[in-house]
Structure 1
Amino acid sequence: MDLQRIETQARALLHAASRYTHPTEKQAFADLAANGDVSWREDPERVRLNARSIDVLERLRFIEPAINGYGSQISQAGRRALSDPALLTEKAQWLDEWIELEELREQLDLERASSTNTLSELTITNWRQFSAVSIVFHSSLTVLTGANGAGKTTLLNILGPHFNWPAQLLVSGDDRSGAEKTGSVGTLYYSNGARTDLLQSHGSGTRNAPLQMSSMQTVPGIFINSHRSVSFYQPLESLPPRFSESDTLLQQFSSEIQVRYAGGASNHSPLYRMKEALVAAAMYAYGNTAVRQNEAARDVWEGYQRILRTFLPKALEFDRLLVDDAEIILVTKNAEFPLEAVSGGIGAMLELSWQIFLRQRNQLAFTVCIDEPENHLHPELQRSLIPSLLRAFPNVNFIVATHSPLVVTAVRDANVYALSKGEDGRVRSRRVENINPTATPDETLMSVLGLDSALPIWAETELEGLMSGLGESPSADELRAFRSELKRLGLDRQFPAAVRAIEARG
């Protein structure tokens, strides 16, 4: 890292900040320092340089947030530093650690297979239920797990605005002064070197107040929420008069999902939009003497079937799609059935793959956030879902939130974070290292998701009752009787653990 270059740029930014008489966005300091040339925003090297230089100025407290939290301004210490020959001549105590962390971030970003901008790191401090959260996003798969209420969906919703997802973040304030205040609760880092503050406004009453991002970057991708649509049969009202572009097809499908998420109603289901698009693709894919062939339609028709052959479970033995009387038929080795007749699990997989496939039509590398991908899936499908996604879409960066131990352990090369409460009752993130791939789901539930026991509550109660009836040093006859009772209850596998508990108690 060229510290002298950072110091020079920090001085230029500080001079730019001094020319503003009111708080403004930090990007404006960089624009002014570049004499109004905003082309630096498209240059990752200059983006990273400006982000680091501004970070240095904030750490030195030479620029500070405005009182209301909107924008930043030069501080009195910053004005005094304008005449200082070297901002960092006397090393701050934090400098060595800061350099090491910045170099690590840059190295991780350089190791990403794609140059497409994506999310690099998320930090949250003392906000809502969170005490301290630090998530470094993997280039391929990041998994967030934890109990209900731990904040998995909340963290995904923070990322939602990048993907046009209108997620709600409800807040309740008790400020009766009438003045709305804003403060930083964390930082979001990008692979192009940029970073943005996460700002939460504080006021009175309960309201929807998503975090504001002062320097949000463009990150291509999609957001898939936890609510899967219900499949019901709807015949096509009319045959499509034309084949639409992939972006339009995705927008039509996503709009149906968002309407339902917002509590609205629509005359058509997402699956209807999918059927409509596939019928149009089949109609215009190959042409005839009266209809000109449409290459884009052919690419969608054939390309999606290739994805399904990779993505759908092998046990289904999927062969191809067929249009019969304006209906989409799934043809397998031993059966044929209409699109709406598929099981809930297969329907969820079709929805998932259709959205990602359409997004991939215009850009190979992008980010996909999925909340609870295991919904509606049999355990066997939960086990194979993530590997199938990575195989079907190798250039996509997945960020998923899950309760399923089968999803948590599905892939070895991933960043897995468990969200759990500390002694203060607030949630912290923990990077889960060396996950045991041979662990049973019950063992994963206890070691990663933090369950005290994976036993049913009735079984746990019975076991505790039997344990309490044993002394500190039970005789051999008592242990034999204890084991027989466990066997009668179907809990004989718990005998070794019970013996260890007795030994520890003694």
Structure 2
Amino acid sequence: MRLERLEIENFRSIDRLALDVGRRVTLLVGNNGAGKTSVLDAMATGFGAALTYLPEVAGRSLSKKDIRQKDNRIAPYVRIAMSTVSGVKWDRILRRDQMRSTALEVPKPIGVRELERTLEQDVVLPLDEGKDVELPVIAYYGVSRALLEVPLRRRGFPRQYSRFEALSGALQADSRFKSAFMWFYNKENEEHRLQKERKSFDVSLPELDAVREAIGRMIPDISEPHIALNPLRFAVRRGADALDIMQLSDGYKTLLGLVIDLSVRMAQANPHRANPLDAEAVVLIDEIDLHLHPSWQQHVVGDLLRTFTNTQFVLTTHSPFIVESINNLMKRHRVSSLPMDEEIERLLPLDPADCRSYLMTESDGALSMLDEERGLCQDHFLDYFNELSQTYDAMRDLEWEHRQ
């Protein structure tokens, strides 16, 4: 289910837009109102057709509010078209009304039959037959992901989970931490029962190990994640301190909530894998820099790529640190054969062929920032990132002139 191309017509503020999607990471940069979040919403709606077809899962659909309106005129239709690396194509279209004149303006639809046929053959039927087929994870994380909801009591916790439930609510951009909390609680109880049966505390569940591994890789100073009682809470250790997750700063909660939810979904979707974190996934994250200190922004993308090794990330940001961090990863790929110090060697090499980077503007849509020859993002396009330094240079020149 790796996405290759997205096409948007008349979706909210977007007139027409076509994006090639990077195999590992796609970065959308731009001012507020440039359409970055709308692109993620369009992707989520496009993938909603897949989730709607799968059993036990609800997707998301187009609504009349999604149809572009400009100069007091509502566009005749909204369309989202997607294609995967494997060649599967589909689209979703919603008309403004049922008038014949409107129908004449709507393009011929591709529809979702090819997508549904592929899901039936590659996912649904093999799972019905009890085969250990891989279930791809698709997840969307919006700017409300730091709002972590914890259940107040243990009553009503589900006892069993199907693999399809890993996709439940996955395309809603708000926080889904409560579901991950309940899964973690049940799996810990299952692990404790196994330890008691085998009389060994060394026994662990691979699914829980995957979540613990993800937390350790992404936030090394957080350890021993577990569910504590009286009161019911998700507890971790940070250094020498045992803390309720709600006591952590917004930066920790934002990143930890995302990592826990995503790793739980991957473990739930593919429990048969030795390491569920290596399964295929598509993850959309709005404002990847949200609440993160610049020092975290410099390595968060590399940490995500290293932790979730077969995940395709589509990210939005306002931060120059994110842009430069991706440049560092691509430059690391270019110098892989050269002798280097330990700090550079720790960086994850990112092949520029696996990356796409766009500057979103209200007037010109999406402008590619990737210099194909150099294999770097051309951050000189980001004028608004450079305004502060330009103002500083002007004041410095004024000071020099005054001294003369």
Aligned to 1:320: 224
Report the Cα distance in structure 2 between the residues aligned to 1:134 and 1:305, rounded to whole angstroms. 38
Q: Which of 1, 17, 20 is 1:136 aligned to?
A: 20
Rg larger for? 1
Change (3 A) 1:479 1:383: closer
Shift of residue 285 of structure 1? 1.2
Shift of residue 220 of structure 1? 5.0
Shift of residue 333 of structure 1? 3.6
Change (3 A) 1:378 1:139: same
Q: Which of 92, 95, 102 is 1:201 aligned to?
A: 95
Letter in 1 for 2:39: L
Aligned to 1:398: 313
8 Å contact from structure 1 (residues 409, 437) kept in 2: no
Shift of residue 290 of structure 1? 8.4
Report the Cα distance in structure 2 between the residues aligned to 1:482 and 1:123, rounded to whole angstroms. 56
The answer as to 2:155 corresponding to 1:226 is no
Shift of residue 136 of structure 1? 1.2
8 Å contact from structure 2 (residues 91, 109) kept in 1: yes
Report the Cα distance in structure 1 between the residues aligned to 2:227 and 2:10, rounded to whole angstroms. 55
The answer as to 2:111 corresponding to 1:215 is yes
8 Å contact from structure 2 (residues 10, 68) kept in 1: no
Spell out, residue by residue over 1:318-362, the C-alpha distance to the aligned partner (whole angstroms, 9 max, x if none): 332244435432124422112222221111112211232133232
Aligned to 1:353: 259
8 Å contact from structure 2 (residues 137, 167) kept in 1: no
Letter in 1 for 2:368: R
Shift of residue 482 of structure 1? 5.0
Query: Could you say what secondary structure the match of 1:374 adopts?
Result: coil
Aligned to 1:302: 209
Query: Could you say what secondary structure the match of 2:193 adopts?
Result: coil
Letter in 2 for 1:169: D
Shift of residue 310 of structure 1? 1.0
Report the Cα distance in structure 2 between the residues aligned to 1:239 and 1:298, rounded to whole angstroms. 23
Letter in 2 for 1:147: N
Shift of residue 454 of structure 1? 2.9
Change (3 A) 1:372 1:170: farther
Unaligned segments of structure 2, at least 5 residues: 49-58, 99-106, 120-135, 271-278, 331-349
TM-score normalised to structure 2 length: 0.64
Relative contact order (C-alpha < 8 Å, sep 6+): which is higher? 2
Shift of residue 185 of structure 1? 6.2
8 Å contact from structure 1 (residues 284, 291) kept in 2: no
Shift of residue 386 of structure 1? 0.9
Aligned to 1:429: 366
Q: Give the alignment of 1:39-438 within 5 angstroms.
A: 117-124=1-8, 130=14, 133-161=17-45, 162-163=47-48, 164-165=59-60, 169-172=66-69, 182=76, 187-196=81-90, 199=93, 201-202=95-96, 214-216=110-112, 217=115, 220-231=137-148, 235-238=152-155, 240=157, 242-245=159-162, 247-248=164-165, 251=168, 254=169, 258=172, 270-287=176-193, 298-312=205-219, 314=220, 316=221, 318-325=222-229, 326-361=232-267, 362-363=269-270, 364-411=279-326, 412=330, 413=350, 414-421=355-362, 426-434=363-371
Say what the alpha-carbon RMSD is for the aligned residues. 4.3
Report the Cα distance in structure 2 between the residues aligned to 1:213 and 1:403, rounded to whole angstroms. 35
Report the Cα distance in structure 2 between the residues aligned to 1:250 and 1:198, rounded to whole angstroms. 20
Report the Cα distance in structure 2 between the residues aligned to 1:271 and 1:298, rounded to whole angstroms. 20
Report the Cα distance in structure 2 between the residues aligned to 1:384 and 1:229, rounded to whole angstroms. 19
Change (3 A) 1:393 1:203: same
Letter in 1 for 2:286: D
8 Å contact from structure 2 (residues 250, 291) kept in 1: yes
Shift of residue 139 of structure 1? 0.8
Report the Cα distance in structure 1 between the residues aligned to 2:403 and 2:16, rounded to whole angstroms. 45
8 Å contact from structure 1 (residues 145, 419) kept in 2: yes
Letter in 1 for 2:364: V
Aligned to 2:101: none
Query: Could you say what secondary structure the match of 2:139 adopts?
Result: strand
8 Å contact from structure 1 (residues 126, 132) kept in 2: yes
Report the Cα distance in structure 1 between the residues aligned to 2:385 and 2:314, rounded to whole angstroms. 27
Spell out, residue by residue over 1:217-262, the C-alpha distance to the aligned partner (whole angstroms, 9 max, x if none): 36851222222242477543448473534643663xx48x94x95x
Shift of residue 388 of structure 1? 0.9
Letter in 2 for 1:454: E
Report the Cα distance in structure 2 between the residues aligned to 1:415 and 1:450, rounded to whole angstroms. 19
Report the Cα distance in structure 2 between the residues aligned to 1:353 and 1:437, rounded to whole angstroms. 29
Shift of residue 274 of structure 1? 3.2
Aligned to 1:481: 402
8 Å contact from structure 1 (residues 249, 277) kept in 2: no
Q: Identity over aligned residues, as a percent?
A: 17
Report the Cα distance in structure 2 between the residues aligned to 1:200 and 1:289, rounded to whole angstroms. 54
Query: Could you say what secondary structure the match of 2:205 adopts?
Result: helix
Query: Could you say what secondary structure the match of 2:23 adopts?
Result: coil
Give aligned pairs, total. Answer: 321
Change (3 A) 1:451 1:335: same
Change (3 A) 1:230 1:130: closer
Shift of residue 160 of structure 1? 1.0
